[in-house]
Amino acid sequence: MRRLTRTLQRRGAIDDRLVWQAASLLLAYPDDGHADRLDTAAELISHLSGATAELLGQTLTALRAFEPMAAAANYVETFDMRRRATMYLTYWTAGDTRNRGNEMLGFATAYRRAGVLPPHAEAPDHLPVVLEFAATVDPEIGRQLLIEHRVPIDVLSRALAEAGSPYAYAIAAVCETLPEAGDKELRRAERLAQAGPPAEAVGLQPFTLTVPPRRGG
């Protein structure tokens, strides 16, 4: 019985990593490597079953239906034009430059603790970066980062669902890999959803990032 339990736990941990990597690829900006990333995501999803496979598959199918220019325009409209759909996790929790910098330092410190440096071309709190780190570098530290920022992820999931965005399914799949939010977290998510993110003022090798960095500016 214990052996079966351990086997199921390992299988679950592997499945979570597949979900995180597939979601990271699906949530990346659709540049010239977009089609290849979708193919890789499809291969990862083929090893999954149940709700996570269905959710990721819905995002994949929707993204494949876009023409390249339309995919890029939709991405910008979804994540750049809506404050409530930002994927920068500390944007939800820190209101000024110093506080946000300290919180981003927490992500960078976690990456270093795992023996890598964060990618140079992207902020360490960008959700696709965190997901790829959790999938490919250190699943335990990565999972902890995701759990600690479960509320922003839940708010993002809700915002995308309300907007009818196909990206909502990928975020929902990520939520399936995390512990269920408690009453306190749900109340906090509700407050954030209503108010939006706070106004913003402005030896080791980095792990290789599959997803492209965001555009400058």
The reported pTM is 0.83
What is the CA angle 147-87-94, rounded to 5? 75
Task: Report d(CA 42, CA 28) in Å as an integer.
Answer: 14
Per-residue confidence in pLDDT tens, the chain, 217 aa: 555 344 445 667 899 999 999 999 999 999 999 999 999 999 999 999 999 999 999 999 999 999 999 999 999 999 987 777 889 988 877 655 567 778 888 999 999 999 999 888 889 999 999 999 999 999 999 999 999 898 889 889 988 999 999 999 999 999 999 987 666 665 665 666 566 555 554 445 666 677 666 554 4
Instruction: Determine the Cα–Cα distance for residues 9 and 14; give it in Å rounded to an integer.
Output: 9
Tokens of 35: 């089609």
Spatial contact of 182 and 77, defined as CB atoms under 8 Å apart? no
Question: What architecture is domain 1-195?
Answer: Orthogonal Bundle (1.10)
Instruction: Report domain extents, the chain.
Output: 1-195
